[in-house]
Chains A and B, each alone.
Chain A
Amino acid sequence: MTATAEAPGEAPRETPRKTTAPPHGSDGRARGPRAWRSRLCRWDVRYSPYAFVAPFFVFFAAFGVFPLLYTGWASLHRVDLATPDRMEWAGLHNYARLLDDDFFWNALGNTFTIGVLSTVPQLLMALGLAHLLHYRLRAASFWRVALLTPYATSVAAATLVFVLLYGRDYGMVNWLLGAAGAGPVDWQSGRWTSQLAVSSIVIWRWTGYNALIYLAAMQAVPDELYESAALDGASRWQQFRHVTVPGLRPTILFTVVVSTIGATQLFGEPLLFGGAGGQKGGAAHQFQTLGLYLYEQGWYDFHLGRASAVAWTMFLILLLIGAANALAARRLGKSR
């Protein structure tokens, strides 16, 4: 502000550019306060970007990057929950134990099956819903907001009501099954039934969200493509199949990756679905996920080192997913 009054305008405009150094050097010696100001301005342009990103990166390094790396370090140690400051070198012992533990493989398998059971129907339904939302509708925003409402419901609140719905003796699902002539199902105790129930909570919470993401991508598909397809006599199904889906391919890939990552870390739904002993994921660990297994190892069996090893195993899985994604994206790019 004061600079406008004083500086003839040339100096500040020049400062960001690289060529300014020599004139300013000579200029600065001659007239003190103006040189000081222009030097300040140069510093401002050069260093303020760092000041702007610094607060973020301080927190990010302290609570994002450091813990991630330190988890790997901790996974090579024996660490007791009661004395988390005492670490005893253990090499790869934690990993060896992990690979020896049937419950680890069980949790890995459960995470996979629940992931498939929840992700596939969720994304297919979301795609269909997005197609419907893409029509010209009355009360268009009402449908969108209503379908997104489950997203606002927390994992805990959602799971509590689903536990009641899936109740063995008085649950509404079993009552409906009974009305349809089928026998009551003990949802929690069976492997498949419990995994279906847990998956249904995930599906309920995330279908609307993914539908909106698909809808946004559909709106970005140019109208001309539909017009020319219609002129070529393509039916609505053919338009969906040959215009919409190819246009959505990157978005579909994106949602698959995000949902897969979400499925890998699934935790709250099975924990609360299991009630009092939820960290076990059922009496026979029938719906224990990797997230629950980590929690049980660390905070019920007091082995923070082993919990870290589980965490880094999950990290490895995520890296594999990321690599598969990159590969798929590249193939996608080639096919275009």
Chain B
Amino acid sequence: MTTTSTASTGPPAPAARRASPGRAPGRAERRLAGRQLHGGPLTYAVLALFTAGSLFPLVWTAVTASRDNTRLARTPPPFWFGGRLARNLGTAWTDAHMGLALGNTLLVAGTVALGTVLFSTVAGFAFAKLRFRFRDALLLLTVGTMMVPPQLSVVPLFMVVAGLGWTDQLQSVVLPTLVSAFGVFFMRQYLVEALPTELIEAARVDGANSLRVLWHIVLPVARPAMAVLGMLSFVQAWNDFFWPIIALTQENPTVQVALTGLGRGYVPDQAVVMAGALLGTLPLLLAFTLFGRQIVGGIMQGAVKG
């Protein structure tokens, strides 16, 4: 990059001279240049304001979940925690099927994340590094349908699920989301750059077949991207809404289905409703406090590549 710019701007000598003694001034220039500036107090103030806005609804979910229904029907609204959190959580756990829903969702989201990572890594590797007929056309098809919303396929899916008698069974929500076009594209973009083609060729020369290449060379390289994709798929599957609402009922719900039941008047107690919302969100919040940096990194990485 620097070589091209010096070549185009003029003779290399002055440019080189400017570069070598100019280390200190160079940094000063850069500080002038906006992006390396330290954030001022105003920056922090605005960020703090938006952070408060981002976190407040979550905190308030916990506040209202710890109160009782009569307190919620009074002004001013409560600002601090009450003493009924455990009782409301217990009621939501049993009466609103949140316990069952959490177990179901863990199973569904876990399976979907595993399946997505597995299928996406294998297919992404083939798209990134192997040559076969129709490769580019198939990739284009995959990318082209990446953004097709679930509404467009929900009627046939419902007809199939109803025909098989799968209503209310978890496989009806797992199977349609088990693979993801985004996942394949994500892994492909990662492996195109991260996986050296020479490494594969060398392994082939040593007589490794494709499965061994996949296991010993691709998987170790792909692991960071697989972890990120796994987390993103898990979050997405956990929060999947439209299709589960149609395929499942309150008899055997996922978290989102159970919360919808709560929101539509299944349980009249507002504090219990909020306790349910809290229960349904806590596992992901926990994951966010543990893996937040990785998830942020994954989203930013996907953004640049995509």
Contacts and interface: CB of A to CB of B under 8 A. Distances in A.
Interface of A: 1-4, 7, 9, 12-13, 16, 40-41, 44-46, 48-53, 55-57, 59-60, 63-68, 70-71, 74, 79, 84-85, 125, 128-129, 132-138, 141, 143-165, 169-172, 175, 178, 204, 207-209, 212-213, 215-224, 226-227, 229-231, 236, 239-240, 243, 251, 254, 257-258, 261, 264-265, 267-268, 271-272, 275-276, 278, 291, 294-295, 298-299, 304, 307-308, 311-312, 314-315, 318
A132 B46 contact: yes
A53 B126 contact: yes
B14 interface: no
Contacts of B131: 49
29 contacts: A7-B207, A46-B132, A48-B130, A52-B122, A56-B179, A59-B119, A64-B145, A70-B153, A79-B155, A85-B162, A128-B46, A135-B35, A136-B36, A145-B293, A147-B47, A152-B285, A153-B57, A154-B281, A157-B280, A163-B263, A212-B296, A227-B30, A229-B33, A230-B32, A268-B242, A275-B265, A311-B151, A311-B152, A311-B153
Interface residues of B, number: 117
Nearest to A210: B303
Given A53-B138, A129-B47, 16 more contacts: A7-B207, A63-B175, A63-B179, A67-B152, A68-B148, A79-B155, A84-B162, A132-B39, A141-B293, A150-B58, A153-B284, A155-B256, A156-B259, A223-B33, A243-B34, A311-B151
A154 B259 contact: yes
B288 A291 contact: no
A146 to B, nearest CB: 4
A146 B58 CA distance: 11
B29 interface: yes
A265 B150 CA distance: 8
A309 to B, nearest CB: 10
B205 A272 contact: no
Given A171-B77, A218-B35, A314 B162 contact: no
A227 to B, nearest CB: 5
A129 B50 contact: yes
Contacts of A215: 300
Question: Which of A56, A163, A219 has the most chain B CB atoms inside 10 A of its CB?
Answer: A56
A239 B215 CA distance: 48
Contacts of A208: 50, 54
Interface string B1-39: 100010000000000000000000000011011111111
A298 B54 contact: no
Question: Which of B5, B60, B181, B239 has the most chain A CB atoms inside 10 A of its CB?
Answer: B239
A128 B54 CA distance: 15
Contacts of A156: 241, 255-256, 259-260, 263, 277, 280
Contacts of B47: 129, 132-133, 137, 143, 147
Given A141-B292, A223-B33, A63 B57 contact: no
A157 B259 contact: yes
B155 A154 contact: no
Main secondary structure of the interface of B (DSSP, over half): helix
B75 A170 contact: yes
Contacts of A135: 35, 37-39, 43
B163 A213 contact: no
A209 B281 CA distance: 17
Interface of B: 1, 5, 29-30, 32-39, 43-44, 46-47, 50-51, 53-55, 57-58, 60-61, 64, 72-77, 119-120, 122-123, 125-127, 130-132, 135, 138, 141-142, 145, 147-159, 162-163, 175-179, 181, 184, 204-212, 214, 235, 238-239, 241-242, 245-246, 255-256, 259-260, 262-265, 270, 273-274, 276-278, 280-281, 284-285, 287-289, 292-293, 295-296, 299-301, 303-304, 306
B213 to A, nearest CB: 9
Contacts of A60: 142, 145, 179, 181
A159 B196 CA distance: 46
The 9 A-B pairs with the shortest beta carbon distances in the complex, nearest first, are: A3-B207, A67-B153, A145-B292, A156-B259, A135-B39, A48-B210, A216-B300, A226-B33, A52-B126
B123 A55 contact: yes
Given A161-B60, A170-B74, A230-B32, A68 B122 contact: no
Contacts of B132: 46, 49-50
Given A12-B204, A59-B175, A136 B152 contact: no
A59 B145 CA distance: 14
B71 to A, nearest CB: 10
A304 B149 contact: no
